[in-house]
Amino acid sequence: MSTNEFTIECTAERAARLEQLRAAMARHGIDAFILPSSDPHLSEYLPRRWQGREWMSGFTGSVGTFIATADFAGVWTDGRYWTQAETELAGSNIALMKIPSGASLLHIDWLAANMQPGQTVAVDARVLGLAVARLLEEALSARGVLLRTNLDLLDDIWTDRPGLPTEPLYEHEAPYATLARADKLAATCAAMEALGAERLFLSTLDDIAYLFNLRGADVSFNPVFVAHALVERDGATLFVAEGKVPDALRATLLEEGVNLAPYAAAAAALAALPDGSSLLLDPRRVTAGMRAAVPAGVRVVEAINPTTFAKSRKTDAEAAHVRATMEQDGAALCEFFSWLEATLADPDLDPDCAPLTELLIDQQITAARARRPGFVSPSFGTIAGFNANGAIMHYRATPAAHAVIKGDGLLLIDSGGQYLGGTTDITRVVPVGTITPDHKRDFTLVLKGMMALSSAQFPRGTRSPLLDAIARAPIWAAGVDYGHGTGHGVGYFMNVHEGPQVISPSAAPDPHTAMEPGMITSIEPGIYKPGRWGIRIENLVLNVPSTQGEFGEFLRFETLTLCPIDTRCLDLALLYPHELQWLNSYHAQVRERLLPHVSGAARDWLVLRTQEV
């Protein structure tokens, strides 16, 4: 099927689905329907059952809100996805509604401005975050608009909607699981009791996987499983679909005081809590539907999940496993990049090899990682973007639309791996053919930003969004900016995007974003020239103690990622001596730690690409 035929077919399907949705809205007396990118666990990456926004609109980005009325349909998304959304929504009669930085709830303002008194807006409370639901209710009620939250219109029209995932759970075992399940549960109980709560309800999948030392495969690239959990002083209940817990693991859990209940029973368990009891809920990490199930006689304590803090602060033993994992991941990248450069230099070197495309990049980099001990899966879908595709921040090559890598320009590769001993995420940019002085200028500016933040020292407890400007300053000085955050937290054999810390100008510097020892965060500034090229350089860093004195305790970043930065893309005249020193010191460390893990062409490539400049 040609790309054009594929687009026409998708456009026709979307038109039919939108017509069916509007018919369902009319049957139920609904004037506007909201379809968020969410599930009952407020996940970033969704199991197939809850990918309704993508099914309805054709927009595949991980962030976006779809709204339909009788005569309008639109998807609200931020600047990371504008180029992608323009392409994927083309010809669909679904409008792209651009969200400026820091305005993630703009769709609520649109509804308040466009709905009339007496009209009804519907959304499924089971997939709507409690904090967002409250803002939505407030905005609509002020306009005299009714909010209805007990409808899932997708069930009316998505006739082949996938069911719940069925992959089995498994233990994350020692030595990689460095704290016992019982110890984590005891620490969690102590934290919730300190907040005056007898129970804690968890819906976020990474919190649950962390707390119970369990992993799964219900969400692509994230080793988590679909479940809810209720933690009490004398035990815990895990609400999970039947058949997902192997018998031996079930027996172990029961022996340790972890009871199992059907996934669908979670709301009923909340509804059965006795009057006068107390329950801890995180309003940012629980749905409005689950909150509504709690009886009025239960005292609800609202605070961030204790597990969110605990899992973000890696233990010394976990940090040691991550360092070892970075060596394996770096060795895999040496193998991959040595293959890539040889292929670019002589495309006919391997007569059995397919043409060099963005899709082949994904296959080869995953294969290199798969040869390394402890590898489980990629940590997200590889982004390999050549020239203009690299300017699409969350670009993903598909069989229907991808580039052949030939000629001149820049190739951006953002990839990562899930290993038993840690999660990796790295972006590198390599030259293809001849690159221009403008390419080198932008690459060097991005590297200056990355080095500036990597070298920073800051007081413990600094709110992470405040660090963003350090990376942007060298880029701003050239009159350039980029439309995404500079860094996100990273899990430990867990989600590649993890809170509570985030280095972004659009994030509020709330107390829970404070930087603490043991946190792993990405540093990934970029420059994107739509239609021309994109550049991003990304390393993962660990918060470690630096100094302590009259002005308190300070932290610094230990760079964890081990992979050369391509100096062929540099304009050395733009680098200060201390920046050259940082780069050479980093490359010396990369060479020293990776040499024992590579041989042959990969070793030769490593030595070549870590030479001093």
CA–CA gap between residue 535 and residue 284 (Å, rounded): 33
How many other CB atoms sit within 10 Å of the CB of residue 42? Answer: 22
Q: Which of 104-108, 345-349, 408-412, 538-542 has the lowest mean pLDDT?
A: 345-349
Q: What is the pLDDT of residues 60-72, one digit of tens each?
A: 888 899 999 999 9
CA–CA gap between residue 187 and residue 201 (Å, rounded): 15
Cα 200 from chain centre:
25
In the chain, % of residues over pLDDT 70 = 97
How many other CB atoms sit within 10 Å of the CB of residue 524? Answer: 26
Q: Domains of the chain, with CATH numbers?
A: 3-157 (3.40.350.10), 170-304 (3.40.350.10), 316-609 (3.90.230.10)
CA–CA gap between residue 60 and residue 413 (Å, rounded): 19
7 falls in which pLDDT band (50, 70, 90)? very low
Q: Which residue has the higher pLDDT, 62 or 288?
A: 288
103 falls in which pLDDT band (50, 70, 90)? low
Tokens 């069925």 locate to: 166
Which tokens hold the place of 519? Answer: 């946190």
Q: Which of 4-13, 101-110, 138-147, 319-328 has the lowest mean pLDDT?
A: 4-13
How much is the pLDDT for 350?
63
DSSP E strands, 467-596: 487-489, 498-503, 520-523, 526-529, 533-536, 539-549, 552-559
Task: Tell me: pLDDT of 1 over 80.
Answer: no
Phi, psi of 404 (to 5 degrees): -85, 135
Strand pairing category for 258-261 and 235-240:
parallel
346 falls in which pLDDT band (50, 70, 90)? confident
102 falls in which pLDDT band (50, 70, 90)? low
Walk across the sheet containing 552-559 and list its strands: 457-459, 552-559, 539-549, 520-523, 487-489, 498-503
- How many H-runs (helices) and E-runs (strands) does the chain carry? 18, 28
Q: What is the pLDDT of residues 370-390, one digit of tens each?
A: 999 999 999 999 999 999 999
Strand pairing category for 426-432 and 422-423:
unpaired
Q: Which residue has the higher pLDDT, 196 or 354?
A: 196
Q: What angle do CA 267, 273, 278 make, to 5 degrees?
A: 115
- Whole-model pTM: value is 0.92
In the chain, % of residues over pLDDT 90 = 89
Of 507, 577, 471, 490, the residue nearest 222 (C-alpha):
490
Averaged pLDDT for residues 192-206: 97
CA–CA gap between residue 356 and residue 349 (Å, rounded): 12
28 falls in which pLDDT band (50, 70, 90)? very high
Tokens 């038109």 locate to: 15
DSSP bridge partners of 231: 200, 236
What single string gives the DSSP state of each residue in 287-354? BHHHHHHS-TTSEEEE---HHHHHHHS--HHHHHHHHHHHHHHHHHHHHHHHHHHHHHH-TTSSTTSP
Query: Do residues 394 and 80 touch, judged by C-beta distance below 8 A?
Result: yes
CA–CA gap between residue 376 and residue 434 (Å, rounded): 37
Q: What is the pLDDT of residues 559-609, one digit of tens each?
A: 999 999 999 999 999 999 999 999 999 999 999 999 999 999 999 999 999
Q: What is the pLDDT of residues 416-438, one digit of tens each?
A: 999 999 999 999 999 999 999 99
Q: What is the pLDDT of residues 135-158, one digit of tens each?
A: 999 999 999 999 999 999 999 899
CA–CA gap between residue 35 and residue 226 (Å, rounded): 20
How much is the pLDDT for 2?
34
Q: What is the pLDDT of residues 112-122, one digit of tens each?
A: 999 999 999 99
How much is the pLDDT for 101?
66
Q: Which residue has the higher pLDDT, 435 or 13?
A: 435
Query: Do residues 605 and 337 touch, judged by C-beta distance below 8 A?
Result: yes
11 falls in which pLDDT band (50, 70, 90)? confident
Judging by beta carbons within 10 Å of its beta carbon (0-12, 13-18, 19+), is residue 593 exposed, middle or buried?
Answer: middle
How much is the pLDDT for 146?
97
Peptide linkage before 175 cis (omega within 30 of 0): yes
Which tokens hold the place of 45? Answer: 């990456």
Torsion 154-158-163-164 (CA) sign: negative
Mean pLDDT, the chain, as a whole number?
A: 94
572 sits in the region (left: phi over 0; alpha: psi -120 to 50; else beta) called alpha
Give the DSSP H/E element, type plus range, for residue 471.
Answer: helix 468-476
Output 360-364 pairs: Cβ under 8 A, ≥24 positions apart. 361/405, 361/411, 361/413, 362/397, 362/415, 364/336, 364/339, 364/340
How much is the pLDDT for 603?
98
Averaged pLDDT for residues 204-225: 96
CA–CA gap between residue 21 and residue 18 (Å, rounded): 5
Output 353-359 pairs: Cβ under 8 A, ≥24 positions apart. 355/404, 356/404, 356/405, 356/406, 357/397, 357/402, 357/403, 357/404, 357/405, 358/384, 358/385, 358/386, 358/389, 358/397, 358/402, 358/403, 358/405, 359/384, 359/397, 359/398, 359/399, 359/402
Peptide linkage before 500 cis (omega within 30 of 0): yes
Torsion 284-285-289-290 (CA) sign: negative
How much is the pLDDT for 349?
63
Task: Tell me: pLDDT of 5 over 80.
Answer: no
Phi, psi of 583 (to 5 degrees): -65, -45
Task: Tell me: pLDDT of 125 over 80.
Answer: yes
Averaged pLDDT for residues 238-261: 96
For 346-390, where are the alpha helices, taking DSSP H only? 358-370
Of 99, 49, 41, 109, the residue nearest 75 (C-alpha):
99
How many other CB atoms sit within 10 Å of the CB of residue 118? Answer: 10
Task: Tell me: pLDDT of 8 over 60.
Answer: no
The residues, any chain, with a CB within 8 Å of residue 426's CB and separated by 6 or more, are 329, 333, 414, 415, 416, 538, 539, 540, 561, 563
What single string gives the DSSP state of each residue in 263-283? GGGHHHHHHTPPTT-EEEE-T
79 falls in which pLDDT band (50, 70, 90)? confident
Of 278, 268, 289, 49, the residue nearest 158 (C-alpha):
49
